[in-house]
Amino acid sequence: MPEYIFEFNLETGKAEEKTWGIYGVRYYKSDEGIKVEIGDGYRHELGIDATYWNRILKVVKDSELDKEGIDAIVKGLMGHAVPEEYIESFISAIKNGVIKPIV
């Protein structure tokens, strides 16, 4: 298990530590740079490179797509890592700047 540099608990809707094993968004350092892990860290997870993650955050935060477009990303591509009951928490955290781009 990597050492996380940022963790957001999708279940509580808060940035907090020790989210492995529950649904969350986690940033960690790798040999290739910072990576993003979304999901429970066990069976239902998705890994994303920083470049693509930052673009996804911008699309969601700036409402570059309509609701159907955002749903296609979150429910379609990330559906197994972000269950339906946590989508609102996920979108809200992005729009409110709690989940930030990787610099």
Q: Where are the beta strands (DSSP E) in the chain?
A: 4-9, 14-15, 24-30, 33-39, 45-49
Q: Which secondary structure element, helix H or strand E, spans residue 59, and what is its range?
A: helix 50-61
Mean pLDDT for the chain overall: 95
Sole residue written with tokens 């339906």: 84
Contact 7, 99 (CB under 8 A): no
Q: 42 falls in which pLDDT band (50, 70, 90)?
A: confident
Query: In the predicted model, what is the mean pLDDT of residues 50-72?
Result: 95
The predicted structure's pLDDT at residue 27: 97
- The pLDDT, as a whole number, for residue 43 is 87
Q: What is the pTM of this model?
A: 0.92
